Copies of this chain bind each other. A is one copy, B any other.
Amino acid sequence: QSRKKAEMFLVRTDGFSCVREKVTESSLAFTHPSIQQQMLMWKSTPKTVLLLKKPGKHLMEEAKEVASFLYYQEKMNVFVEPDVHDIFARITGFGFVQTFYIQDTCDLHEKVDFVACLGGDGVILHASNLFRGAVPPVVSFNLGSLGFLTSHSFEDYKQDLRQIIHGNNKRDGVYITLRMRLRCEIFRKGKAMPGKVFDILNEVVVDRGSNPYLSKIECYEHDRLITKVQGDGVIIATPTGSTAYSTAAGGSMVHPNVPCMLFTPICPHSLSFRPVILPDSAQLELKIPEDARSNAWVSFDGKKRQQLSRGDSVRISMSQHPLPTVNKFDQTGDWFHSLIRCLNWNERLDQKAL
């Protein structure tokens, strides 16, 4: 019985485009995993670096060291933030340090080849916040303060920066992780509010704030009501944010390369309400019903906290502009190291994994 099977097409639609593929031998198969290691290679040598650090006078000695190294040894243009520039301006021998207008960061991306951060995860969140559109590659050096995203230790900064600039001898490039961000937009009575657009790296949270009780939040996906949350609130997190607030609320820890969003309720009234993981193509809307008993609060990466009134909503979808971070080893190695280092993940006294 060697009849030919019915031939088929597979039509893929992602909201942006629509592709019709013929299916070889009527056999629906995956040709490769959707998820890939990614390596950054420069075509021309990078010339300009933005050096970010914790605000105030913290870590000035380290900042001076790194700035000198990048300028004198690597012949790079070194930019810092305006308030840090004020400090540098008073120090002899650092006239080479440049700055920019904080009011106008929209062309910052066009100047900067990569960003070097000194400090913890907060500095990377700040970098995410500076770049609303495309973000240059970010390398982050921790100085004792533990961070999930800061995989490089300060001790090796010279070697690590040289690898980023010139490539690793063996590989000609450095591994990077493209960290998905979420584009969040506040709507009032269905209309976008001007200036209320945020690209977040960790999570957007709608919670009851100082109200004793939370009204039900209506949750829509592509305009379809999927559930109502009653409890302390709801977290929509990226994989990068999965190990932050979402984990505290009971969410799973998600590898940054998994293209998804975490929908994690905070102290839900319903015992059967579990965290849910949605595709990166999800278009979510969290809405305060018109008949809600009280207002709610929204915050973006733990900042810019503001009230949501009845009828307000936040729309959330994948941002086109990820934040690329430079890996110390590779994506999976760095991530498991961070889990163990920052969260004591599966640590027992007699057990030293990795």
Contacts and interface: CB of A to CB of B under 8 A. Distances in A.
A245 interface: yes
Interface in A334-349: 336, 339, 343-349
A199 interface: no
Contact of A348 (B20, B265, B270): B270
Nearest to A305: B212
A57 interface: no
B259 A35 contact: yes
Contact of A228 (B111, B275, B353): B353
Contacts of A173: 9, 11
A113 B3 CA distance: 11
A345 B271 contact: yes
A210 B134 contact: no
A273 B272 CA distance: 8
Given A212-B302, A269-B248, A279-B258, A12 B27 contact: no
A17 B13 CA distance: 24
Contact of A6 (B16, B113, B302): B113
A224 B336 CA distance: 10
A137 to B, nearest CB: 7
B278 A258 contact: yes
Give how many copies assemble into the complex: 4
A38 interface: yes
Interface residues of A, number: 130
Interface in A251-277: 251-255, 257-260, 262, 265-277
Given A11-B41, A34-B34, A252 B276 contact: yes
Given A8-B43, A30-B320, A276 B255 contact: yes
B135 A28 contact: yes
Max chain B Cβ within 10 angstroms of own Cβ: one of A180, A212, A277, A303 = A277
Interface stretch (A44-52, A88-96, A152-160): A44-52
Contacts of A299: 212
B280 A45 contact: no
Given A258-B260, A266-B267, A351-B228, A253 B272 contact: no
A46 B4 CA distance: 10
A296 to B, nearest CB: 11
B210 A272 contact: no
A335 B62 CA distance: 44
A247 interface: yes
B279 A255 contact: yes
Contacts of A137: 28
A279 B253 CA distance: 12
A326 B175 CA distance: 39
A36 interface: yes
Contacts of A324: 28
Given A32-B17, A226-B353, A38 B12 contact: yes
Given A5-B46, A232-B232, 4 more contacts: A14-B36, A229-B346, A252-B275, A252-B277
15 contacts: A11-B173, A28-B322, A30-B318, A33-B279, A34-B34, A210-B297, A225-B353, A226-B354, A227-B345, A230-B351, A251-B252, A252-B262, A252-B276, A258-B260, A278-B332
